[in-house]
Amino acid sequence: VTAPALATTALDLRAPEERMLLGGEWVPSSSGALLDAENPAYETLIRRVPCADAADVDRAVTAAAAAADAWRRVPWTERGRLLRELAGRIRDDAERLALIDTADGGNPAAGGRTDVEAAAARLELWSGLGGQAGGRTIPSPPGTLTFTRRSPFGVVGRILAYNHPLLFAAQALAPPLMAGNAVILKPADPTALSALELGALAQDLLPPGTLNVLPGTGAGAGHALAGHPGVPRIGFTGSLRAGRAVLVAAAEHVKTVTLELGGKNPLVVCDDADVALAATAAVRGMNLRSSNGQSCQSTSRILVHAAVHDAFVDALVEQVRALRVGPPDDPAAEVGPLVHREHLERVAGYVEGARRQGARLRCGGGRPPGLERGHFVAPAVFDDVTPDMTLAQEEVFGPVMAVMTWSDERAACALANATEYGLTANVWTRDFDRAHRFADRLQAGLVWINGPVARPPGTPFGGLKHSGLGQEQCTEELLSYTQETAVVAAYADGWP
C-alpha cells in the first residue's frame, strides 16, 4: 500500500474518551491523570485514556463487591449464555477490534484478526465449563456425609501484559466470571484501548460492577489492586520483576495469586532433525508475525547440534532476513514495531550487549532501511552465544534469537535447563526415544516435540521455576477462581 491506512484513518472507538468502566458507568479517573495511547508504527497519539490510581481501585472494589453477591447466584448456564453473547458481539465487530489492537499495540493486522477470533473462541469455550466447578464427595463412615463445595472468591483482580491486548482481556475475564466472581481488569499501560472496547461491548450485557476495566500504571493501579484487602484473588500476566512485586503486595493479605511470567525458551535441534523444518519452526516459534517477537513463548534460545549447525543457521538466517518489517497495517508487512520507544531502546541495549560480549550477529538488530519513524527493529540472529552471556539468560521480549551449539545430548539438556525460567521448550528430532528423554528432563511447563504447533484447547499453560505459579487455559484455571471448603455432616444412621 502507498498510504498506510492507520496513519490517516481515525479509529472507530466506542468507549467514551478519557473514561473507564467502573460500576457499570464510564467515569474519569479521580485524579484526572491520563495515559497516552500511542501508535507505535507512526509515533502518533491515538487518544488518551484515564490513569486509575489507588482511589479508583478502591471505588472499583466497592462496586465489584456489591455486584459479586448477585452474580454468584446467577446460574452458570446463564453466565455462560452471556459470555457467548459477548463472543458473538466480538465476532460481529472483528475488523474494527483487530484494527484497534494493530494501531495501539503494533501487531500485524493478520495477527490481530487471529487474536479477535481466538478471544471469541475462548469466551465460548469457557461458557460451557461452569459445571466443572463443583465439589467432591469423600468416602465417610455411615452416619457422616463428607463433601466439598466450591465458592467464588468475590472480587478478582486481573493484571495484564501488552502483547495480545484483546485476547488477554477476554481470556482473563472468562474463567473468574464463570466461577461466579466479579472482575477488575487492569490492562497493560500501553495497550488499554481494546480492553475498554470489550468493556463497551459488555456494558449492557453484564450487571453493573461485574466487569470493571481500569487502565493505569503498574506502580499505581496495578500495585493498588495487588495490595487491596478487598481483592482476595489476583491473576497476573507480565514480567518476573512485576510478578515478584505483586506477590510481595499480596502477601500482606495472604491472597491467592497465580502468575504467568516470562520465558527464555529453548528449541533443541538434534543432528537427525529435518534442518529446514526446524529452522521454519524456530522462526514461527518466535511469534514474529503475531506479536513482533514480543511473546512469552518465543523460541529465543536455539540449541543446535554441531553436526547440523552450519546448515541450520544458514537456513534460519535466510528465513529471518526475508521477513518484511513494516507498518502493521501494510498487508505486506510480516513484522511490526515494538510497543514503545523505551522497549525499543531496551532491545537495542541487548543487541549492543551481545555484540560486546562476543556473540556473532548474523542478521538484523538495527533499524530496517526505509523506516525512519516507528519503534522498528529488524529481527536479529546471534550465533556463537555462550551460556554465561546475558543473551543466554535474560528475556529480551523482542525479535532477538540466540544460537548455541552442543554435541552431547546430556549437556544439551543441561544447557536448555540452565536459566531461571521454565515456560516452554522444544525438541526437534526424528528419534522417538531421544524425543522422550528430552521431554522427561526439560524443565518447562510445556514441551513440544517437533513443534511448536497450536495447543489444543484445554492444554494446561503455566511456567515452572521463575516462569510462574499455577496453570491457565484448562479446568484448573476455572477451579483456581474458586475456594474449596469441606463439610462433614453427621446424621443418625440407625432406624428410629
Taking the complex as a whole, how short is the minimal distance between the CB of residue 429 and ligand NAD, in angstroms? 26
Give the dihedral of Cα atoms 431, 437, 440, 445; nearest 10 deg: -50
242 binds ligand NAD (CB under 6 A): yes
193 binds ligand NAD (CB under 6 A): no
223 binds ligand NAD (CB under 6 A): yes
- Using alpha carbons, select from 479, 157, 295, 123 the residue that is nearest to residue 471: 479
CA distance 118 to 172: 13
161 binds ligand NAD (CB under 6 A): yes
- Kindly tell me which of 263 and 399 has the beta carbon lying closer to ligand NAD: 263
C-alpha cell at 200: 463497551
CA distance 452 to 277: 11
Distances in whole angstroms, Cα of residue 411 to Cα of each of 304, 340, 425, 426, 437: 12, 38, 16, 16, 13
- By DSSP bridging, strand 400-406 and strand 301-305 are parallel
Please give the helix or strand (H or E) that residue 18 lies within, else none: none
The amino acid occupying position 281 is: A
Contact assessment for residue 225 and residue 184, using Cβ atoms and an 8 Å cutoff:
yes
238 binds ligand NAD (CB under 6 A): yes
Active-site residue flag, 270: no
- Kindly tell me which of 221 and 435 has the beta carbon lying closer to ligand NAD: 221
Count of beta carbons in the 10 Å neighbourhood of residue 342: 11
Q: Could you tell me which stretch among 19-27, 138-146, 255-263, 309-317 binds ligand NAD (CB under 6 A)? A: 255-263
Please give the helix or strand (H or E) that residue 35 lies within, else none: strand 34-39
Taking the complex as a whole, how short is the minimal distance between the CB of residue 390 and ligand NAD, in angstroms? 15
Phi-psi category of residue 458: left, alpha or beta, with phi > 0 → left and psi -120 to 50 → alpha: left
- Kindly tell me which of 282 and 317 has the beta carbon lying closer to ligand NAD: 282
How crowded is the C-beta side of 60, counted as CA atoms within 13 Å?
A: 36
Distances in whole angstroms, Cα of residue 235 to Cα of each of 10, 89, 115, 158, 215: 34, 25, 20, 5, 16
Q: Contacting ligand NAD (CB under 6 A), which of 35, 159, 363, 391? A: 159
Contact assessment for residue 81 and residue 123, using Cβ atoms and an 8 Å cutoff:
no
162 binds ligand NAD (CB under 6 A): yes
Taking the complex as a whole, how short is the minimal distance between the CB of residue 108 and ligand NAD, in angstroms? 17
Say which residue the cell 514503545 belongs to: 340
- Kindly tell me which of 295 and 405 has the beta carbon lying closer to ligand NAD: 295
477 binds ligand NAD (CB under 6 A): no
Count of beta carbons in the 10 Å neighbourhood of residue 343: 20
218 binds ligand NAD (CB under 6 A): yes
Taking the complex as a whole, how short is the minimal distance between the CB of residue 462 and ligand NAD, in angstroms? 8
Burial (CB count within 10 angstroms: exposed 0-12, middle 13-18, buried 19+), residue 133: buried
Taking the complex as a whole, how short is the minimal distance between the CB of residue 470 and ligand NAD, in angstroms? 10
38 binds ligand NAD (CB under 6 A): no
Contact assessment for residue 177 and residue 211, using Cβ atoms and an 8 Å cutoff:
yes
CA distance 295 to 462: 14
- Kindly tell me which of 224 and 315 has the beta carbon lying closer to ligand NAD: 224
CA distance 220 to 95: 32
Q: Contacting ligand NAD (CB under 6 A), which of 167, 185, 226, 302? A: 226
- Using alpha carbons, select from 212, 180, 171, 175 the residue that is nearest to residue 75: 180
Q: Contacting ligand NAD (CB under 6 A), which of 262, 293, 328, 336? A: 262
Q: Lay out the site mask for ligand NAD across 388-427 (x = CB under 6 A, - = otherwise).
A: -------x-x-------------------------x----
Taking the complex as a whole, how short is the minimal distance between the CB of residue 201 and ligand NAD, in angstroms? 21
Q: Which of 51, 296, 363, 413 is catalytic?
A: 296
Q: Could you tell me which stretch among 20-28, 195-203, 220-228, 450-458 binds ligand NAD (CB under 6 A)? A: 220-228
C-alpha cell at 495: 432406624
Which residue of the chain is nearest ligand NAD when measured via CB? 218
The amino acid occupying position 484 is: E
Q: Could you tell me which stretch among 108-116, 242-250, 273-281, 372-380 binds ligand NAD (CB under 6 A)? A: 242-250
Q: Contacting ligand NAD (CB under 6 A), which of 101, 260, 330, 334? A: 260
- Kindly tell me which of 80 and 463 has the beta carbon lying closer to ligand NAD: 463
296 binds ligand NAD (CB under 6 A): yes
347 binds ligand NAD (CB under 6 A): no
Q: Which residues are catalytic?
A: 260, 296
- Chain residues binding ligand NAD by CB under 6 A are 159-163, 186, 188-189, 217-219, 222-223, 226, 237-239, 242, 245-246, 260-263, 296, 395, 397, 423, 463, 468
